Amino acid sequence: MADSQHRPAPRPDKSNRSTADARAAALRILERLDSCSDTLDSVLETEAIMIDALPRRDRALFNQLVYGVLRWRLQLDAIISAHASRPLNKIAPTVRNILRLGLFQIRFLDRIPASAAVNTTVALAKTHRAAKAAGFVNAVLRSALRAPDRDGLPDAAADPVGHLSVSQSMPRWLVDRWIDRLGPDEAALLCESVNAIPPTVLRCNPLKNSPTELVEALAPDAERVELIAAVPGALQLIRPRRAIHRMQAFADGRFSVQDGAAQLVSLLFDPKPGETLLDACAGLGGKTTHLAQLMENRGRIVALDHVATKLARLETEARRLGIDIIETRRADLNRPLDPSDLPRFDRILLDAPCSGLGVLRRNPDAKWSSLKKDIAGFARRQARFLERLAPLVKEQGTLVFAVCSMEPEENESVVTQFLKKHPNFAITAVEAITEKSMLPFLGADGFFRTAPHTHYMDGFFAARLTRMC
């Protein structure tokens, strides 16, 4: 999956309307998500004009509300069910979201008095097509205040999977998988880490500055800026004072936004100046531009994606960063590639489409849209993409397969299946990797893995393969 990027300049949208009400704005986003199949990132981009019109303090509350409700939705729904006079599925979607917003403020935001949370939520119902339900909303919230122990949690002894699922607001099928694979204690730690608010991690652009120079440049824009020792060139922004896209250092192309795990995948790839590279699923170009920086903007990178708008944004991002070695091409790996149209490459990166279950802490909406059956479908597509790309790797060239997922069907199983069919490829020996900062993240099997509960990064898997002949 493509890396998380900064929000681009908003596109004109007549449906956007300015508002100074963080709660109303949050409700609008939640309703949009309920009524379409778009991701949260996509909806936020569409509503950028409305969001940017919020005062700074309201924008912070807006983010807390949207991400918080999506992160804790299952637990909030259990509380609603425990206090409502009707079943959850009989409550209108708008009223459900209004109740979720109110309960989230009561249960998770200490700075908002409970009485204020109730009053503002009732007022929200009265002004947003739910006036008739205002009394019902008031009754549910006040009942939850009077009886906070009535939380709707399944009994931990009788139903440990259900208890962990609801208490940590994670889909039951996913909790069941994690307990089976990791055991109950580690699965609980993973759930807690997924629900933690992730840090804002930046990638220094060495074409324009050093990490220490970037720390100095960003000092006025955040309470604190810290280098991340485990990831060369990565920084953490502590309590930013303004939006990323409003920072001068961003406008000057001195950094990108990218999680440490995604940065490590590019370091595992280990490109060299002057080489010819292929980024086969480039997306918005988070890894593409990182590879160009590691190559000192010398060589050639062909970036493929089947979505033209993503490639256009990749080109814009490359210009911002001062990169000119990237050539974009529209291509769909679901169809055979024409070998005569592409050279043999020194290195190929397949950052494959996947379930995205390793980045739930950044995309909490995906908790409720991902399905167990999706994993097998993604694995089949990943295997198909590897088949398409294998012939394009030069002898002694490198093929890196990466996914933002921790699920074995999308990880070891895909690579093992590929190696059985392609004995001329082998997992690269650790000694061949120049970037030694990778070593702590490589297992005895040679696979790269990160996880939120062990590395405080997104959950990624990668395999570095060499074509022997």
Predicted confidence (pLDDT) per residue in 16-36, tens digit: 333 349 999 999 999 999 998
Question: Among 359, 376, 377, 379, which residue's Cα sits nearest to residue 367?
Answer: 359
Which residues lie across from 236 on neighbouring strands? 201, 226
Enzyme catalytic residues: 404
Q: Write down how long the chain is.
A: 469
C-beta separation of 355 from 406 below 8 A: no
pLDDT at 432: 73
pLDDT at 80: 98
- CATH label, 200-257, candidates 3.40.50.920, 3.40.50.300, 3.30.70.1170, 3.10.20.30: 3.30.70.1170
Tokens 């939120």 appear where? 452
Residue 33 CA: distances (Å) to CA of 2, 19, 30, 82: 20, 19, 5, 25
CA distance 173 to 171: 6
The domain over range 260-467 is classified in CATH as 3.40.50.150: yes
Tokens 């959850």 appear where? 88
Per-domain boundaries in the chain: 160-195, 200-257, 260-467
- Structure-token pair, residue 401: 């397969």
| pLDDT > 80? residue 385 | yes
C-beta separation of 294 from 325 below 8 A: no
pLDDT in tens, 421-434: 999 999 987 777 77
C-beta separation of 351 from 283 below 8 A: yes
Least confident of 1-15, 104-118, 296-310, 315-329: 1-15
- Structure-token pair, residue 392: 């394009």
Give the pLDDT band of residue 349 (cuts 50, 70, 90): very high
- Structure-token pair, residue 60: 């912070």
Q: Beta 276-279 vs 255-257: how paired, if at all?
A: unpaired
Least confident of 135-139, 334-338, 365-369, 414-418: 334-338
Reported as type and span, the H/E element at residue 236 is strand 234-240
Contacts 24+ apart (CB under 8 A), 131-139: 133/92, 133/95, 133/98, 136/84, 136/85, 136/95, 137/95, 137/98, 137/99, 137/102, 139/85
Residue 292 CA: distances (Å) to CA of 285, 321, 322: 10, 10, 10
pLDDT in tens, 213-248: 999 999 999 999 999 999 999 999 999 998 899 999
pLDDT at 165: 98
C-beta separation of 280 from 350 below 8 A: yes
- Structure-token pair, residue 137: 């909303």
SS3 (DSSP) at 391: helix
pLDDT in tens, 240-271: 998 899 999 999 999 999 999 999 999 999 99
pLDDT at 319: 98
pLDDT in tens, 73-103: 999 999 999 999 999 999 999 999 999 999 9
SS3 (DSSP) at 81: helix
pLDDT at 376: 96
- Structure-token pair, residue 132: 């008739």
| pLDDT > 50? residue 10 | no
In order, the DSSP letters of 191-233 are HHHHHSPPPEEEEE-TTT--HHHHHHHHGGGEEEEEE-TTSTT
pLDDT at 14: 36
Going across the sheet that includes 234-240, the strands are: 222-227, 234-240, 200-204, 255-257
- Structure-token pair, residue 409: 């069907």
Give the pLDDT band of residue 7 (cuts 50, 70, 90): very low
| pLDDT > 60? residue 207 | yes
Residue 162, number of CB atoms within 10 A of its CB: 17
* Packing angle of the helix pair 160-167, 172-182 (nearest 10 deg): 120
Contacting residues for 73 by C-beta, under 8 A, at least 6 apart: 100, 169, 367, 368
- Structure-token pair, residue 440: 């702590």
Least confident of 41-55, 158-172, 298-312, 354-368: 41-55
